Amino acid sequence: PVLADSLLLGQVLGSVLANAVEAMSVSGRISVSAERVDKQVHVLIADDGPGIPEEQLGRIFKPFFTTKPKGLGVGLPLAKRIVERFGGSIRVTSQPGRGTTVELRLPVAPEVKT
């Protein structure tokens, strides 16, 4: 278990997955993996879409920045804010023409003893 509100974490995952789906072609692939590393859980969401150009990558967490014709530019900034409120972090790496990976690092929830 991670230290997070399940509804808000669901919103973050939904937003990241929706971005991946929208970026890809019909035959694209998305992979989701998670592993515990010390006191964190690392969640990786990777797609094989077109990627994000380097000049745009530094702006993706800025409110109202979007490359989508009907996008509002609030999904990733809100996701970042939510994850950071949990004490975690979010990082995006991308290679144009090869895809994008979003990494969420979330704190492990303390064990509850009964």
pLDDT of residue 69: 67
What three-state secondary structure class fits 44? strand
Helix (H, G, I), strand (E, B) or coil at 6: helix
pLDDT tens-place string over residues 43-87: 999 999 999 999 999 999 999 888 776 777 789 999 999 999 999
The dihedral through the CA atoms of 75, 77, 66, 59 has a sign that is negative
Q: How many CA atoms lie within 13 Å of 10's alpha carbon, on the beta-carbon side?
A: 3
Question: pTM, whole model, 2 decimals?
Answer: 0.90
Q: Which of 43, 42, 64, 65 is nearest to 53 (CA)?
A: 65
Residue closest to 88 by CA, chosen among 49, 39, 55: 39
